[in-house]
Structure 1
Amino acid sequence: MKAVQQPADVTADDGGVPVAVRWAGRTLHVTVIDAWRAGGRWWLGEAPRDCFLVNAGSLTAELHREDRPGGPWWLARLQD
């Protein structure tokens, strides 16, 4: 997988699980393949985050969301 680290426009359900992502001008519905929590680099002040490996059509990617109110989503990695 290739590191991307870009902000992402993600729609999540009430439980915070992504259901769609806007990518390349299109809204793609996603299927979650795996989910885990990462602690963040606390020594740099990073918040813990929820991480999701998703499939959206031909796109396989990791989406991350900071675990804080209004925490941003970002596209962490893409399968190349």
Structure 2
Amino acid sequence: MRAVQERCGVELDGQGKPHVVRWRNRTYRVTREHDAWRAGGRWWLGEPCRDCWLLECGALTLEVHRFDETDPPQEVSGWWVARVQD
């Protein structure tokens, strides 16, 4: 997987899990969730906690992160594509 660190949009299903990812002007439907976890961040650097998912979207695999909107500065809050494998 290669690191990307780009903003994206995510739609959640009724259970609060990602089911659509919008990234680079394209829409990807989630076909499988491989993993989900909560990362604490490097507290000694002031990094906020985030929720992470490893998602299969057809032939594309994305690792997406959601930073809490209240904890981090505005420039990092929201959804990000952290890594991608195509």
TM superposition score category, shorter chain reference: 0.7 to 0.9
Q: What whole-Å deviation, never above 9, does each CA across 1:9-32 have from its counterpart, x for those lacking one?
A: 111235432110013432211121
Are 1:51 and 2:57 an aligned pair? no
| Rg comparison, structure with higher value | 2
Are 1:75 and 2:64 an aligned pair? no
Change in 2 beyond 3 A, CA 1:45/1:14? farther
Q: List alignment gaps of at least 5 residues for structure 2.
A: 71-76
Runs of 4+ in structure 1 deviating by more than 6 angstroms, as ranges, are none
Aligned residues: percent identity? 56
Alignment of structure 1 residues 1-40 onto 2, 5 Å: 1-30=1-30, 31-40=32-41
Secondary structure, aligned partner of 2:44 = helix
TM-score when normalising by structure 2: 0.78
Q: What whole-Å deviation, never above 9, does each CA across 1:14-67 have from its counterpart, x for those lacking one?
A: 543211001343221112111111101212222111110001111101001113
| Counterpart AA for 1:7 | R
Q: List alignment gaps of at least 5 residues for structure 1.
A: none
Secondary structure, aligned partner of 1:43 = helix
Q: Tell whether the 8 Å contact from 1:47 to 1:68 is kept in structure 2 after alignment.
A: no
